[in-house]
Amino acid sequence: MMIIMGVIGLIILAIIV
């Protein structure tokens, strides 16, 4: 579950950057 949250976080960060 935490791994999925991490992936989602990276995707959001990539969208921001």
- Decide: helix, strand or coil at residue 1: coil
Q: How many CA atoms lie within 13 A of 2 on its CB side?
A: 0
Alpha helices (H) in 1-17, listed in sequence order: 2-16
pTM above 0.85, yes or no: no
The structure tokens 């995707």 sit at 11
Confidence of residue 15 (pLDDT cuts 50, 70, 90): very high
The predicted structure's pLDDT at residue 10? 98
Q: Within a 10 A sphere around the Cβ of 12, how many other Cβ atoms?
A: 10
